[in-house]
Amino acid sequence: MEEKKIDFALLEEMINCAKREVQMRYKVYPYWVKTGKMSADKAEKEKALMYAIQKALQKIYDGTAPRPVQQSFLNTQEYIRPNFNHL
């Protein structure tokens, strides 16, 4: 069986997208908290979650994530939900 390869160009794009999202959250969420659109606790949690996503992707890119994590990252087919709308 052929070993799947990580698409590093796509992974780099994903990391950069996550970085932009982290930056946006740090810029916008304080205003949302101030205006009552979001609680401070929720803002902190959401910022931390997106930063964790960024760091996890970076570890896969750097090859420092455990091998099973890297392999599961490649196997996305099992997470694609079937489309039952056509029935």
Global pTM reads 0.75
Return the C-alpha torsion angle 62, 63, 66, 70, nearest 10.
100
Cα dist. 9→5, 6, 12, 28 in Å? 12, 9, 5, 29
The separation between the first and the last C-alpha atoms of the chain, rounded to the nearest angstrom, is 35
In this structure, what token pair is assigned to residue 57? Answer: 């992707």
pLDDT reading at 48 higher than 60 = yes
Residue range 23-39: mean pLDDT, rounded? 98
Element (H, E) at 56: helix 40-62
**Angle (CA) 40 41 46, round 5°:** 100
Check residue 65 and give its pLDDT. 86
